[in-house]
Amino acid sequence: MTRYIKLTMVMLMVSVLAVSCDDFLDVNTDPNRPTSAPYQGLMINTTLETARNTQRVSASTGYFFQHLVSPNAATSIDVHAPVSLGTIWSSIYFTMGDLAQIINQAEEQGATHYVGVAKVLQAYNLGLLVSTFGDVPYEEAFFAQTLTPKYDSDEALYGEILQLLADAIVALQSTQSLTSPGNDDLIFRGNRPAWLRTAHALRARYLNHYSKLPSYNPQQILTHIDNAFQSNAQDFQMAFFTENATVRNPWYNVALNNAGLLLGGWLSDQIIDHMNGTIYGVFDPRLPLITMADTSSGNFIGTRNGAGRGAARERFERTALEVGSFYASGPTAPLEMSTFVEMKFIEAEAALTLDPNRSFAAYEAGIRAHMTKLGVAQADIDAYWSNPEVSDRASFGRDKIMKEKYVAMFLNPETWNDARRYDYAYARWRIPANHNPDLGGQMIRRARYPDSEIQRNASQMPNKTLTDRLFWDVP
């Protein structure tokens, strides 16, 4: 009995101490220093970083789809060596981690419109990640108590992307939301119809990636196209907003650095010859708005991937992004993520067999809309369209669509997905000089996992090579 009383007394004292300790910790918790960021603050960061992630991906994969080229011979990424793209990996994961917090907090509080916007952004960032690397951690990547999250298959993650967008459409259509995004949304400033259009546009994009598979459903794509962007003014893009180097248009930074002889942003002869008349015999009036001609000859001259500039000067003899050109026009220039122009070319591809007249009309509309956006004079637009190489109906087909989309999606990372779906079948395509011999003359199909992941999570990492294809990229 005495032992029982003593044990009871000890347990009572422990309970009192525990309560006192809890009270003490409560007293010393600073209510002005929350342990998790509010979703409104996270929205500012995630909209900004989504745009920056777009450029981070294209600044690397642009060498694979040959919009970009290194001015120096045999640069690793230019020749498809197995480089570590750690900045892309970590930046996208940081953004998706913040978006996961927004979704959780907003769902708990009934902020349905925040949930919708965050799911669109989550789907977009996940799409960037999967399209670059293939299988990646997702299900266990954010809140699971593990330092070695399992890898989810790229096919399963495409299902997640499409589900996120479907959920976003439902959330954005809701009339009930505790609060809604406003100026904390740096892309659309809380414009809910704009986010709805974007969700449909991205559904169309990712469903179009299935073009090589039996499950490809062009009618479903066209339905989303009908609910997506209807003009250039509705594009999913973000205008940057200060002269500060960290929050101004990153392509402008590249052009500015190149002008200061910190070389970068040089353009491949593939995209230049695509536009200067070398390959197709028709000069594209968008070319002077994208880059600058050689000051001595007046010609637009690209650089072959992997070969470097040779004896050419560091500036003016080869094309590069130039300050004042459309995609590097200034520090606050918008950065495109998905556009009305892209929708027109997806529509042209999806409707090609279902409705050839609709396909051809969408193809023309895509060309004209892109030229209009870049500021091409109407007379030059009409002259370009009147060239049979562009507008001949008898020879119209997928090759023409992909040829024009390759220009209209300049510097957009989606172009690498197009190139792989198209099996790099652009006219006069060449593998880079000094190409990585381990690829056996094949073009790269996915990026190598970064060094940080190899060091921390190798036990979960699938055994993939640079020539292993994503699930939708069947031979």
The number of residues in the chain equals: 475
Q: What's the maximum distance between 2 C-alpha atoms anywhere in the chain?
A: 106
Tens digit of each residue's pLDDT (9 = 90 or more) over 332-348: 999 999 999 999 999 99
Tens digit of each residue's pLDDT (9 = 90 or more) over 42-93: 999 999 999 999 999 999 999 999 999 999 999 999 999 999 999 999 999 9
Does 6 score more than 60 pLDDT? Answer: no
Which tokens belong to 199? 């969700």
Rounded to an integer, what distance in angstroms lies between the CA atom of residue 286 and that of residue 340? 17
Q: What is the pLDDT of residue 167?
A: 98
Which tokens belong to 387? 């060239």
User: Which residue in the block uniquely carries the two structure tokens 């990585």?
Assistant: 436
Q: What is the pTM of this model?
A: 0.92
Rounded to an integer, what distance in angstroms lies between the CA atom of residue 247 and that of residue 136? 28
Q: What is the pLDDT of residue 36?
A: 55
Rounded to an integer, what distance in angstroms lies between the CA atom of residue 303 and that of residue 267? 7
Q: Provide mean pLDDT across the span 432-454.
A: 97
Rounded to an integer, what distance in angstroms lies between the CA atom of residue 465 and that of residue 446? 8
Work out the percent of the chain whose per-residue pLDDT is above 70: 92
Q: Provide mean pLDDT across the span 250-256.
A: 96
Number of H helices, E strands in the chain: 17, 6
Q: What is the pLDDT of residue 59?
A: 98
